[in-house]
Amino acid sequence: MKRVFQPLPPTPDHVELEHEILDWWDEEQVFERLRERNRGGPTWSFIDGPITANNPMGVHHAWGRTLKDVFQRYKALRGCDERYQNGFDCQGLWVEVEVEKSLGLNSKREIEEYGLDRFAERCKERVAEFSEVITDQSRRLGMWMDWDNDYYTHSDTNIEYIWRFLKEVHRRGWLYKGHRSTQWCPRCGTSLSQHEQAGEDKYRELAHPSLYVRFPLRDRDSESLLVWTTTPWTLPANVAAAVKPDAEYGRRPSGEWVAVARYPDDEFVDRVRGEELVGLSYEGPFDHLPAQAEVDHRVIPWDEVALDEGTGIVHIAPGCGAEDFELSRIHDLPVLTPVNESGRFYPAYGELEGLSTDEARDPIVDSLRERGLLAEATEITHRYPICWRCATPLIFRVVDDWFISCDEIRQPLLDANQEVEWTPSFYGKRMDDWLRNMGDWNISRKRYFGLPLPFYPCHACETLNVVGSKAELEERATAGLAQLQELHRPWIDEVTIRCDECGEEGLRRIPEVGDAWLDAGIVPLSTLGWQNSVWIEHGYATGAAAGLTGADLPDHAYWETWFPADWVSEMREQIRLWFYSISFMAMTLVGRLPYRSVLTYEKVHDETGRAMHKSWGNAIEANEALDRMGADVMRWLFCGQVPSQNVNFGYGPANEVKRRLLTFWNSVGFLVTYANVAGWRPSWGVEPASAHPLDRWLVARTRQLHAELEDAYERFWTPTVTESFERFVDDLSNWYIRRSRRRFWDGDSDALATLWWALTRALQGVAPVMPFLAEHLWQNLVAGPCPDAPESVHLASWPDRASLDEPLLEEIADVRRVVELGRQARSSSGLKLRQPLRRLVVQGAGPAQGHADEIAEELRVKEVEFGTVDAVQVRVKPNLPLLGPKLGKELGPVRAALEAGEFEQLAGGGVRVNGYELRPDEVLVERSGRPGWAVAEDDGVTVALSTELDDELLREARVLDLIHHVNTVRREQGLELTDRIRLTIPRADEDVLQYAGWIARETLAVAVEAGDVPEPTIEKT
């Protein structure tokens, strides 16, 4: 007889079946058919935050990409029309740094020597290479996207849209050039903005010198200010010293002034308030350097001087610190910028010229020591900011950067954020916090392969010309158009334009490029064709993106349809990055946020909960994980995680997932085995109609699963999806199948049809989370035997929600609870499962009453009684940390009374003893079975299991052991399920022959006899 279903191996080979399914999807064009089917359906708009096309995808990306795919698949099952556009982030510091590394370039000078044109080509090559790698990896993960039509942020189209934004920002008067103290990476040679540097991992524990330095006061013989610094390189740029005006300062016998609060035990020969020191003049630590020639060093007041570290007198170098710079504005201090963009000293710093801030440390310390200015030199280890891209310790520099003022946009953004549905919800507050505290947006980077800022200052009339499009550039150009291959340096730098205001020609672009978050922030407008009059086929594939993608530039009507996104999802860090930048840009241009709801998630850590780092050896490559655990297992692991907590990722957790999925696999295997034995065939589209109570229950339970999954998907909450499914599989396997075995052995078609229906429904429900395994099993269970069924589980429609038989569900839930408690009671008593027992008393599970026989059978007890459990013994002990102080010497008698059981339990959990009423938290209540009983309770249900054994019970246990043993031997000897045997047992066990009929039935024996054998022996007949 031909088998209807393919037999299942004992375990699924996830990796192998996933490759088969990928090929099959391709051959059958399943994704294309799904999109075709849903075209014209209700739209569900998702906008993808771009992944940087700079390195292979990591497992930390796989979490987010899994979630994106899960919800797109779910919405597709529900018939939604979707866009499926993937995005790549393609320019800016990320890409530059990696290309520099691969070319062995170590500074901006070396990049310029290499040639900006060649450098740009290398950056584009890297993007092309890794966008392909990431595409392959994402397909392997099961991600269904419109892979040939990705957006690339380095396309001219994307750049032009940002230009339009910048022109609008300028029109509103928000654009300005700021002279500011900013965090600066000396290796990358650029400033970094607040949002780039805000993450926790942007700091490292570093050792720095800790110096106490004397600044001698002028006109005060042998008196000096004592200051503390951990950045010696800033001392040559010192211009002032700050004191706290209302703090007390004291002069040591040595002449050093310090804050008294810092040295309360020191001896002082003079004490004054800080304000009395203000205005004093002192000798700077490096007055001999040319840069210091004009500086008049004075003591200034500053309320923020800290009195919890240092000396209470702060050295001020406005060119080397943000607060110092602010003070220079207030007190009109000179600003000395000691180092250039590579962090090396300028010529005006004499012997320090050309040294890096690190290299200058020793000469500075030596010089101070020689001149008797160094009071003390040690080391300190502290948290210090490092470059988010290259991990170089940052310094502060005062530079000119371009900023967008956020004063006017802040409130509209805050208001709009109140309407967004954040998951988990508290992330919405994080967004509020960010918006309330965000500083002006620093948009300029002194780099090469990035968005060229279209700013053309006019040297004649001082107007800032901002170009808003390529067409405008072409119209105003006075030279350089012919060689403009794309909107990137160096080509864009050759184009000069005419001033709008005065007509002056030959205006040059400023050299800066833009913050990469402008590139990613514009995509809700640039990829959807906002304000584009005609649909342009492949119109997005311009400039550097030409040839990489076939993406169209849609028209404005399309934008109207798909904007804003119904849903976006990125990791929590993106609150201050991508969510911020898309919000800022869309609010500016169209007055709305570009998304309605957000799912945010945390980080991927290793399986012990540590952050993953290549250098720590605990990082797992995405390819390795895909090859070793398989995509479905990865996806299940990610989806099972509550997204507001880091996920612990690794092979241990993956094996745990596999183990749980195996229960489902085995349930399918069970159906396949017995359906094939019975020659049973399923029919597609028939709802099960069996009247058998277990079948009715499984149908209700499956509908309940379906409703739970639907609710969870609608809330974007995958942990409930995996949890509901796992609970369902437990019910299916450990109740339905377990209780129905005999019906399957008998080939009962009602049981087969009901189980088949339940399994196929479950497959549909979890297909978005484990698309491969669901498809593989669907092929076997549904598509193979049912020619009229959907060929793919992903092409089957999401079933309608059916009303639930709640009373029946509660009834069986109670039965399962009683059985579970019965098992707990059994295991607490130490009795083995095969030991029959006399009696079980159940209290508090009324709906389970009709199932006494099933409970008795499951728990192997002869009698189940519903009533009051009085077999419980309550022991109360004092909670000593609380009661000790409260009762004092009364504690002894109270404890004795409790021990003797002389107490009364009060409603609510308290206890009355010796005239005291003790609160529930003041006592520890232990409940246990009286001798001869094992008790378990949970959530209002209590069961008591009689543990007393008699000869009959003991004999029955031996019979069960024997049956188990014989069936194990049958399997070991390779007997078929239908083979009959002759069984011989040792004469010592002759007394169990009174149960020969029972034994024969359970072992398919035609004869059971005692004989001269050392152990039970079987013979096939």
Chain residues in the site for Zn ion (CB under 5 A): 185, 187-188, 387, 389-390, 392, 458, 460-461, 463, 499, 501-502, 504
**Residue 386's closest CA among 188, 99, 150?**
188
401 neighbors 182 (Cβ within 8 angstroms)? yes
Chain-centroid distance of CA 15 in Å reads: 24
Task: Kindly write down the DSSP assignment for every residue of 224-289, as one continuous string.
Answer: EEEEEES-GGGGGG--EEEE-TTSEEEE-TTSEEEEGGG-TTS--SEEEEGGGTTT-BB--TTTTS
Q: Phi, psi (5° rounding) for residue 59?
A: -65, -25
Q: In the complex with Zn ion, which residue's Cβ is closer, 461 or 954?
A: 461
Q: How far is the CB of 186 from Zn ion (least distance, A)?
A: 8
Q: How far is the CB of 767 from Zn ion (least distance, A)?
A: 44
Q: In the complex with Zn ion, which residue's Cβ is closer, 43 or 463?
A: 463
Distances from the Cα of 785 to the Cα of 3, 206, 505, 675, 682, angstroms: 10, 66, 77, 12, 7
d(CA 750, CA 682): 11
> Helix 427-437 crosses helix 578-590 at what angle (to 10 degrees)?
70
Q: How far is the CB of 454 from Zn ion (least distance, A)?
A: 16
Give every CB contact of residue 13 below 8 A, 6+ residues apart in sequence. Answer: none
Q: Tell me the sheet residues that pair with 81.
A: 43
Q: How far is the CB of 393 from Zn ion (least distance, A)?
A: 10
The maximal CA–CA distance of the chain, rounded, in angstroms, is 120
Q: Phi, psi (5° rounding) for residue 87?
A: -125, 145
Q: How far is the CB of 498 from Zn ion (least distance, A)?
A: 9
Q: In the complex with Zn ion, which residue's Cβ is closer, 501 or 714?
A: 501
Q: In the complex with Zn ion, which residue's Cβ is closer, 445 or 761?
A: 445
Q: In the complex with Zn ion, which residue's Cβ is closer, 499 or 622?
A: 499
Q: In the complex with Zn ion, which residue's Cβ is closer, 433 or 501?
A: 501
Burial class of residue 345 (count of CB atoms within 10 Å of its CB; 0-12, 13-18, 19+): buried
Q: How far is the CB of 346 from Zn ion (least distance, A)?
A: 21
Q: How far is the CB of 101 from Zn ion (least distance, A)?
A: 12
> Helix 771-778 crosses helix 749-766 at what angle (to 10 degrees)?
150
Q: How far is the CB of 304 from Zn ion (least distance, A)?
A: 29
Q: How far is the CB of 340 from Zn ion (least distance, A)?
A: 15
Q: In the complex with Zn ion, which residue's Cβ is closer, 197 or 704?
A: 197
Distances from the Cα of 323 to the Cα of 326, 397, 399, 871, angstroms: 5, 12, 15, 73
Q: Tell me the sheet residues that pair with 396.
A: 183
Q: In the complex with Zn ion, which residue's Cβ is closer, 390 or 1000?
A: 390
d(CA 118, CA 111): 9
Angle at 882 between CA 876 and CA 885, to 5 degrees: 120
Angle at 641 between CA 567 and CA 21, to 5 degrees: 75
Q: How far is the CB of 91 from Zn ion (least distance, A)?
A: 16
Give first-to-last CA distance, the chain, whole Å: 25
Q: In the complex with Zn ion, which residue's Cβ is closer, 171 or 930?
A: 171
Distances from the Cα of 806 to the Cα of 273, 690, 701, 711, 847, angstroms: 78, 18, 9, 17, 12
Q: In the complex with Zn ion, which residue's Cβ is closer, 119 or 434?
A: 119
Q: In the complex with Zn ion, which residue's Cβ is closer, 458 or 831?
A: 458
Q: How far is the CB of 108 from Zn ion (least distance, A)?
A: 11
Q: Return the sign of the alpha-carbon dihedral for residues 967, 973, 974, 977.
A: negative
Q: In the complex with Zn ion, which residue's Cβ is closer, 102 or 827?
A: 102
Q: How far is the CB of 181 from Zn ion (least distance, A)?
A: 18
Helix (H) or strand (E) run with residue 465 in it: strand 464-466
